[in-house]
Amino acid sequence: MKKTITLKSSKSKPLNGIINVPSDKSISIRSLIISSTCLGNTKVFKLLESEDVINTLKVLKNLKIKIIKKNSYYEVFGQGGFFSDPQKILDFGNSGTGVRLMAGLLSTSEVNATLSGDQSLSSRPMKRIVDPLQEMNVSIKHNDGFLPIKVFNNNNQHVPINHTLNVGSAQVKSCILLAALNVKGTTKIVEKIPSRDHTEIMLKFLGANLVKEKNVIKLTSPNFLEPKELRIPGDFSSAAFVIVAVLLSKKSKVKLKDVGLNYYRTGLLDVLKKMNANISIKNRRNFNGEVVGDIEVESSNLVGTVVNKNIVPRLIDEYPILFVAASFASGVSEFYGLNELKVKESNRLASMSNALSKNGVKLKLGHDFIKIFGEKKQEGGNQVETESDHRVAMSMLIFGFFSNKSIVIDEMEMIKTSFPTFKELFQNLGAKIEYFQKL
């Protein structure tokens, strides 16, 4: 019988230190994609070398974009939006950001290409990007709303669109904006629910003719993007695991340096402060248009809270670790409007409620809400079925630092998609996390 190496977490000592979390995955992927459309060379400092980012880098190389790794940066040799037909299928692995953004960019770039991904990515909805792209008169085929997606160079006259986004999705918005780079005229997007704006910030920083007024974004093309140096801040979504772990630990204090503080990413801070968290932000400044700062976190006695649907887009990736925080808080926490959690790397509403309840957490699960009845002590001890979801895996490993019995996850490889140094970083802070061999 084949033995599998995975991860196990157990009751931890206090967590203390000054750290840098991994670089931002969302901004790393965008830096490669948008740099490739510049006319000239862009230096990207602190690029995250996780699987999702490297898969996007390989895709760009297959499109004949030259990218070289130097000592302290990656250099992207932009070709002003020109790509060559790839010789093979463009495989994005698990990266929803990579595949949706590149589908937009390539759909108007006069190339023939097939975009694909792993089993998890192939189950995620793609019609939400295909529909607006078809409005732009591109030639595109899809697999009944899923991957693979094929784009064709049929010499169509592409047209700008006025598109209203009913779902708070940065990936759909970014897909349309990148497609619009090659479409003469003004493309307008109306966001009913605002979402993270990394694409808009980077396009403007590199010289795009982009205007944002309240919930309306306008991009007028043609654009000639100028290469500039890009520095990637620390990933707030990775910082979230450290923040919650420190809050739940006794006698703990950690400083996280150079973390991205984009408003549309930091809803977790607002919720945790309502839960009585001791968190402060120091040294605010700017990296290529993005707000960055140092986050100082200390042990706290968390209390339950109510989280309504209006904050969902600012919190979407942090719900799994927030559910862990709620599990150990005093009192009941209620979370509403969680439909979008069902179409992430797994159905995170189902996979997290399953993992928590199997490990002793009392909860009530609804169609798009969850109530968690927090207790200072939780049992643990049952293996976690992660559904191949990196955020479920990491969240439940944090749970294991505080439960009576250890937590073992069924697999660990997918953690590399966003946080390759997860185990080492927590070990260095003082947490008990180790490799575990299971049958």
Contacts for 262 with CB less than 8 Å, ≥ 6 apart: 196, 197, 198, 201, 236, 290, 291
- Burial tier of 286 (Cβ tally within 10 Å: 0-12, 13-18, 19+): exposed
Distance (Å, rounded) from C-alpha 360 to C-alpha 382?
Answer: 9
- State yes or no: is 317 an active-site residue: yes
The catalytic position among 317, 368, 389, 410 is 317
**At residue 176, what are phi and psi to the nearest 5 degrees?**
-65, -45
Distance (Å, rounded) from C-alpha 420 to C-alpha 53?
Answer: 12
Residues 291 and 325: beta-carbon distance below 8 Å: no
Residue 23 structure tokens: 């670089």
| CA dihedral for 374, 311, 46, 98, sign (positive or negative) | positive
Output the DSSP codes for 252-301.
Answer: -EEEEEEEE--GGG-HHHHHHHHTT-EEEEEEEEEETTEEEEEEEEE---
Contacts for 208 with CB less than 8 Å, ≥ 6 apart: 181, 219, 223, 225
Question: Of 81, 183, 185, 172, which Cα lies nearest the Cα of 132?
Answer: 172
- Cα 304 to the chain's mean position, in Å? 26
* Residues listed for the chain: 439
| CA dihedral for 29, 34, 39, 44, sign (positive or negative) | negative
- Cα 87 to the chain's mean position, in Å? 29
Residue 60 structure tokens: 């760009």
Question: Of 351, 349, 367, which Cα lies nearest the Cα of 359?
Answer: 351
Residues 138 and 156: beta-carbon distance below 8 Å: yes
Contacts for 131 with CB less than 8 Å, ≥ 6 apart: none
- Burial tier of 214 (Cβ tally within 10 Å: 0-12, 13-18, 19+): exposed
Distance (Å, rounded) from C-alpha 182 to C-alpha 333?
Answer: 47
Positions annotated as catalytic residues are: 317
